[in-house]
Chain A
Amino acid sequence: MKYILMMNGTKAHFSEYAKWSKKDMEANVAFMRAFSKQLKDEGVYVATEGLGWPDQAKLVRADKDGTPITDGVFPESKEFLAGYWIVDVESPEQAYKIAARASAAPGPGGASSNVPIEVRQVLGSHSDLGL
């Protein structure tokens, strides 16, 4: 079963992160690198990506003739996807355990950042005979 584990944040959250000390940032990056490696070692890793920051995000709509209209106007409260992991596990409980590990990524002062991780199942196309 594939699950996507998403780390979201408002623009304010991203700004806060940008103000972390060098040491705290390095610890967080090191954690992320090690975490991905662990997932690979555990045989559950499918994909992971970090995304460009909200300031660079664009909202695109189609004009009457199909040309893209872009703007960068978002509500202040909007949560942006910072990055995700996709894992292949045997149960939702296993996905939640992995999400909890991601949530414990170190923040300022080295303490757990306790960031909430959104967990959703990734739809597959194989059918379940249900026997």
Chain B
Amino acid sequence: MTAQPSDPLIEPLLRRLTPQVLGIVVRRFRDFAAAEDAVQEASLAAATQWPLDGLPQNPRAWLTQVAFRRMTDHIRSESARRHRESQAALEMDQLTAAVDAARESDQDDTLILLFMCCHPALTPASAIALTLRAVGGLTTAEIAHAFLVPESTMAQRISRAKQSIKDSGIRFQLPTTEERAQRLRAVLHVLYLIFNEGYTTSAGPDLRRADLSHEAVRLTRIVHQLQPDDTEVAGLLALMLLTDARRQARTNDQGELIPLSQQDRSLWDRQQIAQGAAVLSAALPQGAVGPYQLQAAIAAVHDEAARAEDTDWPQILALYDLLKRMSDNPMVRLNHAIATAMVHGATKGLELLEALEDDVRVAEHHRLDATRAHLQELAGNLEAAVRHYRAAAAKTANLPERNYLLAQAARLSSKLRLSNVQE
């Protein structure tokens, strides 16, 4: 099979294969950091040679063989003074072993890699970078670009993450049954963070920026396939699909944020919504309902409504009632207050917000002010709404969101002026 230079088949093929090869190499050599380097080199070699020589018969075996060779070079250079003869023998063994190993497909390796990359000992930023690299197969440049940092900084971040793994003595094996639930939660959290990072509000297509949301969906799908009985994995996948489906409607051409109530629902991806709903419907009846499934259910109820006014707010409120009991997240309580307002009136919603002022995690958060502003507007207290929109604008770290909040303040402010004039 011949391939052309920059063959569009090669890149996705490498992205799919390199994590598998990494699993094989780590399993054999037990040195994650060195293995990751070796696989990267093999991947670069493939990207250079395959367009010229054509795709090999067994691309994965090809990559594995090159990576094994790099590993033995690495080992040899580490102990060059000693055991020259046994190194040569080692190399022959390893090369033939590489071909054999590549024939087997150990699905568990991807899961083990994920557990490793998302280990709680790593900081979130490290886990995210390492996961995208080792499991996602993204290049360092792609990851750096996605996070708007220089490539050398991202390379260093990944390098230090690998060193952390080495120093922590994290082993290439599935967690014990006792640890499994907690470790899987850590994996889901990292995948969620990646999805969130990709849920960008920047206007216009940026083709070079790796689509992190789609990457998060892809990786979560893999975990779902590997752990089909885990309902929270399904819940997260459903949540991502149901949320991502609205992406086209969230911003206009100028990059301005459009809230859910005003989105053009014809721009929602109905197919993706159906997919998400299907994944959720399969998970819910199994009974182990958790926060991700509940969040997904809420997203599904929103996505079901043909128009904003058709939204089943009582059902959303019921779901937030459940979620509130399950999750300590103050953001949940903010959303619960909004749902309460939609069902029982703005005053009831505002009462719930007062209780949140004592929660240090949220008292200074722009979301509290923004939520209060929204409910004050619903209650008809325009001056209070303007004040809180401006307060929220001053606190947010998100530029499109700041513009949105200031625009709301301006809109209400002119409404106030007009109503004053009329009196």
Contacts and interface: CB of A to CB of B under 8 A. Distances in A.
A44 B331 contact: no
Interface residues of B, number: 41
B329 A42 contact: no
Interface in B108-132: 123-125
A88 B148 CA distance: 9
Nearest to B395: A121
B152 interface: yes
B199 A126 contact: yes
Contacts of A46: 148-150, 153
B199 A127 contact: yes
The main secondary structure of chain B at its interface with chain A is helix
Interface string A23-63: 00000000000000000111111110000000000000000
A88 B147 contact: yes
A130 B367 contact: yes
B201 A40 contact: no
A111 interface: no
A124 interface: yes
A54 to B, nearest CB: 29
Contacts of A43: 153-154, 156-157, 159-160
Given A1-B397, A129-B199, A45 B153 contact: yes
Contacts of B147: 88
A126 B239 CA distance: 18
Nearest to B147: A88
A126 to B, nearest CB: 5
Contact of B400 (A1, A2, A125, A130): A125
Contacts of B192: 131
A126 B402 contact: no
Contacts of A76: none
A124 B147 CA distance: 10
A131 B329 contact: yes
Contacts of A18: none
Nearest to A127: B201
Interface string A105-131: 000000000000000010111111111
B43 interface: no
A45 B147 CA distance: 12
Nearest to B236: A131
A41 B199 contact: no
A121 B202 contact: no
Interface in B241-263: 243, 250, 255, 257
A123 to B, nearest CB: 4
Contacts of B396: 123
A72 to B, nearest CB: 32
Nearest to B200: A126
Given A123-B402, A126-B200, A129-B195, 17 more contacts: A41-B156, A45-B153, A88-B147, A88-B153, A123-B397, A124-B397, A125-B200, A125-B255, A126-B199, A127-B196, A127-B398, A128-B398, A129-B196, A130-B331, A130-B335, A131-B295, A131-B331
Interface of A: 1-2, 40-47, 88, 90, 121, 123-131
